[in-house]
A and B are shown apart, each in its own frame.
Chain A
Amino acid sequence: MNGAAPTSFDTWLSARADGEAGAGLDWLEAQRRSALHQVREQGVPGTKQEAWRYTSLKRLIEQGFARVEDEVTALQLHDIEELLIPGLDSHRVVMVNGRYTPSLSALGDLPPGVRVTGLRALLASDPDALRERLNGVAGESQPLFAALNTAGLDDGLVVLLDRGAVLERPIELIHLSVGMDEPRVAQPRHLVALADGAQASLIERYVSLGESLYCTNSVLELSLGRDAVLKHDRIQIESPNAFHITGLYLSQDAGSRYVGVNVGLGAAWARTDLVTRFRGEHAECDLQGLYLAGDRQLMDYHIDVDHAVPSCSSRETFKGILYGKGRAVFDGRVVVAKDAQKTDAAMSNKNLMLSQNAEIDTKPQLEINADDVKCSHGTTVGQIEPEKLFYLRSRGISAPLARRMLCMGFAEEIIDALQSDALREVVSEEVGRRLETAPLT
């Protein structure tokens, strides 16, 4: 990096050598222009802005990430073998640095009524399938990183299920980041739409080869039709030097059910926005999360649940383990509209602090405008309980192992909610490995 530190995100949107996705589509050009305008208008939000109150963007912007320019073509299946999860039988989609990579993917047979493809390819072959959908959930006016993602829209995963279609095996997205000669930003844009009565499960994994510095800014727009069911596990294990930003925009029609587990373990700096809107009655949203924040690591969660209609239920259950000089933010907000009677909402955030130097800002909020509702929120910040530690040690278990067992016990509830044993095993192992080297002061 030469000269003064960058003061805008312009470098994120530099030109691609191989051209823009969907070039020549008027409606897409208009969306990009509008998004770019919003990016410029918003500038770089400071900590006076509510959404960035606890998190400074300084560290991120100083990196001067440049847009990924070229496709990584050299990777072969054996290069990524160690990243595959044994025993996980999935429709596998691999993306490398934000680009769908068919040679590493293994879609297998898809049942009728199910379409799984890359966004860039679909913009070329059947743009009308996307016209009403792109930005359909995220909306026209977008927060900074969603707008950046739209302005730099290039590729991503598209999953479309027709009415009543049922997928037995999960769709697994592996987003792989490979270090380049200079720090790059990839902005994958995913779209998952389940029509009425459709059922699927989705696994998103963000991983890297090596410990390089890069940025991922992903957006997932997810819409569930009437009575549709989606199980969604998202596992972020980026490089320890990476920056990871993600926005999940979820829209739920009547009777639909979303069950999501969000695991954040990697990256130096991670920001997650989960935004849910209920559009029909008797829909359910179950959002669970587990994060680890160690030395020089920031995990920032913003959750926004909009009970706009009556008789929906939502659970937001997030647990964090902080150690070393780790930092985390949990900013959760549930809004119950005036007419949203019979809303059932429960938000909780529990944190286990393994060191005195770790820091948590947790702020669950309820804004209730209806009178016949069942809503609760709670937050805890605690340490490992000495009597539990003593119990284990009195059985011959060393203090470090005993601490790890108690941390794993704390995390168990969330890990248990993952959709398969294979995933649970991978996440347990990864959490255990991190705790093994966690400083305890």
Chain B
Amino acid sequence: MSTKTAGKKKSVSFFRKIEPYFYLAPFAIGVLLFTLYPIVNVVLMSFKENYNFINQSYSGWGLGNYLYVLNDAYFIQAYKNTFMYVFVVIPISTCLSVLIATLLNQKIKFSGMFQTAYFLPMVTSTVAIGFAWRFMFSHRTGVINYLLSFLGVEAINWLQIPKYNFPALCIYGIWAILPFTIILLLSGLQNIDPMYYTAAKVDGAGPIKSFFRITLPLLAPTIFLVLIVNTISTFKVYNELFPLFQGPGIASNLFTVVYYIYYQFRIKTPMKYGYAAAAAVILFLTIFVFTMIQRFIEKKTKD
């Protein structure tokens, strides 16, 4: 009798233990199947020599793909372009969005209108916006050249002359990244107790002093978040190439790492899955190192 109940108890508690895994299962299977499996597969693929996707054949394991990619002029160009892009877009977009978010956070007139204007890119079709930007960059009739003419800058052929492709891409990229960044920063700003500003004001602090001594330090955690998220996304620059140039610049001069992956995978015949996979792994490692460095700096500044 007693042993029977004990046994029953044991089976109940065993079920209790494994019960949560049933609830987790649907999600876990999804993650394993659609995220983890492809990642593992890409890493494996990058080490397979002469891999053929269709019949899954390969001639052996090795570093051949990496050696090819690292010596490929297109990849080197892509890697350089991507780095330059990150180093131009991240600082400029971060500074701009901190500035704009701070202004939007003031109780100014028309702030509703400004907010709508800045968030428009998020809710509008990328293709439509891309076309709009083609017009804006247009050599003779574009609004950008028109605005620059006031500064005495002669009309620039942004899209047709290779050396201007990169600045055009950066301008577009900065613009595209702003809304999301501003939303994050605005929510960070709204978490700052207005009491601090009142206290500083009573002590005689002007807007600039308040900004640098109160706003910026209290916003720092959000700025770091934005930096990490945006660095990762700008390292993956690729989409932005199509609306402006329908490809990697006007003269194959604007390869980026992700475009290179796409190029090996999709455009080149026969398709080079191994090269694509190796490039993807290199990009992953690069982003990983960068994120670690940022986290390290964040921790350092916190203390």
A and B: partners?
A: no
Binding site for A on B (CB under 8 A): none
| Contact surface of A with B, Cβ cutoff 8 Å | none
